[in-house]
């Protein structure tokens, strides 16, 4: 009998994305996701995110500058050995979870 860890193939369930309300409530401001946390940009720069249909601002988003990019690259370098040590199956589980979160928030991301 095989266990999830020893199986060589897994059938994933790609069900349709759940629908969220037509008018989802967005946050007013979004930071940079670096090293597992949302952070403000080092230089404080933020830009408006516009609704492409109306050109009305819907939120403010952080704009990453050179110092923010350095922080993100350093965090990625620290995280890489642990990610590389995971089996393909374990990495697949993380990627599948990310795909599900994207599906669940499809309308917000659109």
Can you give the pLDDT at residue 14?
Answer: 52
Gyration radius of the chain's alpha carbons: 18
- Neighbouring-strand partners of residue 49: 59
Can you give the pLDDT at residue 35?
Answer: 94
| pLDDT, averaged across the chain | 82
Query: Over the stretch 31-78, which tens digit does the pLDDT of each residue have?
Result: 999 999 999 999 999 999 888 889 988 889 999 999 999 999 999 999
Q: 6: pLDDT confidence band, cut at 50, 70 and 90? A: very low
Structure tokens at 68: 């923010």
Nearest to 64 by CA among 84, 45, 88, 86: 45
- Mean pLDDT of the 73-97 span: 96
Q: Whole-angstrom Cα distance, residue 86 to residue 108?
A: 31
Say if CB 109 and CB 58 are below 8 A apart: no
Largest CA distance in the chain: 58
Nearest to 68 by CA among 49, 48, 43, 46: 43
Q: 16: pLDDT confidence band, cut at 50, 70 and 90? A: low
Nearest to 65 by CA among 29, 39, 27: 39
């Amino acid at each position: 009998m095989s266990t999830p860890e020893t199986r060589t193939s897994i059938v994933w369930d790609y069900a349709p994305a759940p629908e969220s309300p037509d008018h989802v409530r967005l946050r007013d401001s979004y930071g940079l996701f670096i090293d597992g946390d949302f952070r403000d940009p080092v230089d404080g720069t933020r830009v408006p995110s516009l609704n492409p249909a109306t050109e009305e601002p819907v939120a403010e988003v952080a704009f990453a500058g050179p110092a923010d990019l350095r922080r993100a690259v350093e965090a990625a370098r620290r995280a890489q050995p642990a990610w590389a040590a995971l089996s393909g199956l374990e990495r697949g589980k993380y990627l599948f979870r990310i795909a599900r979160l994207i599906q669940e928030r499809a309308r917000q991301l659109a």
